[in-house]
Structure 1
């Protein structure tokens, strides 16, 4: 099976030439394949953020090879893999980055190690597998090379630990999954968790340093200018926003930190 599209997700940023080098490798091997850049602004080495960004975006893309590189273990014994999902292929390091997106694309069918030397660049750097191993693999897969041609089947791909979510009557504790460009804080919790905690109306949102009063609403305008709203975001997760401001800056929250929501509204 061939693919017309490759999606590309990394923590490379755009200041250097890393993204362009990977685009170039793909273009030289598969010049007719188009690349969709999901994001290259994943915070450095933040696996959960990268996994979440890809998982929340991939279902809206055309069927594709999904190339993702957030790889703090580059050059170590960690494997590179191609994950076969029901509705696409995923290429990258075997560190948990790819499996949430595979689940969003219908579930994992099988996984193969990227070990075949002829399907990577002839010279490989110890620190740039995105260019030398993963980008060539994505291009070859798009051209129709079967995943099994890359190496042995992997029965035990690495998974990320589940993020913290704990709901009690009057209290919900959830891990921050991502913070977007606007400073909106996405939590691991869902509206069902909020219902389990029996929270509605006015609540208090706590970080380690401050608490702010928030309204449980549907969209940003349900709170006054400069005020907080707890809402369900476009990915179906609970999120905290400041109407016209940054919830992340106001609360001092970032990925992997804990956020607590209680039924007792408290002004900061």
Structure 2
């Protein structure tokens, strides 16, 4: 199966040549394939953030080979893998980054370890597998090479999975882990939107009063609102401000939401 698109999601940033090198490898091996840059601003080494962004984005992309690289274990014994879903492939490290996206795309149909030396760069850097392993593999897969030729099969049950994020729900509130903080400072929680069903119009979020609303404009400027975001997750925002700074939280922190006294 050929793909006309490859997507890239990394924590490489935009101040160096890392992203361009990956684009270049793909262009040399599969010049007809177009590249979608999902983001290269995942917080460095934040695998859970990268996994969340990838999983929430890929359902809206065309059928593609999705490359994701947030890889604090690069150069160690962690495996490089490729996963097949009904209409897409995912390529990256076996550290939990790819699995949520694969599940969002219909589940893992097959998995392989990337061991075929003919598919990799002639000299593989220990610290830049995005350029030397994942990009060339993705280009070959997009060009129609069989997944089985990339390396031996892996039992999907043996893939690394991220621990379940914190979510504790009670009749008078809940505590949820901060899943992501976006460019606007909005705080996305590891709680589905249904957790807000039946909650009061006013809630206390991290000890601060917030309106239970639908969008930012439901509160006055500088007001705090808790709502269901575009990914269907509970989120907290400040109208015209940054909720992460207001609440003093970052990815991985638990955030309590309580009914007013």
* Pairing 1:152-163 to 2, within 5 Å after superposition: 152-155=152-155, 156-163=158-165
Hey, what's the Cα distance between the residues in 1 that align with 2:226 and 2:51? Answer: 23
Q: 1:211-226 maps to which residues of 2 (within 5 A)? A: 211-226=207-222
| Residue 241 (str. 1) matches residue 243 (str. 2) | no
C-alpha RMSD over aligned residues:
0.9
1:194 deviates by 2.7
TM-score (structure 2 length as normaliser): 0.98
Listed as ranges, the matches of 1:108-123 within 5 Å are 108-123=108-123
8 Å Cα contact 1:172-1:194 kept in structure 2: no
1:81 deviates by: 0.3
CA separation in 2, counterparts of 1:142 and 1:172?
44
Count of residues in correspondence between the two structures: 259
| Alignment gaps of 5+ in structure 2 | none
8 Å contact kept, 1:124–1:132: yes
Structure 1 outlier segments of 4+, above 6 Å: none
The reply on whether 1:150 has 2:150 as its aligned counterpart is yes
Q: Secondary structure of 1:44's partner?
A: coil
Contact 1:6-1:36 at 8 Å conserved across structures:
yes
Structure 2 residue matching 1:189: 3-state secondary structure = strand
Q: State the Cα distance separating 1:191 from its structure 2 match.
A: 2.3
For structure 1, the 5+ residue unaligned runs are none
Shift of 1:192: 2.1
Q: 1:183 touches 1:246 (CA, 8 Å); kept in 2?
A: yes
Alignment of 1:40-189 (within 5 A): 40-155=40-155, 156-189=158-191
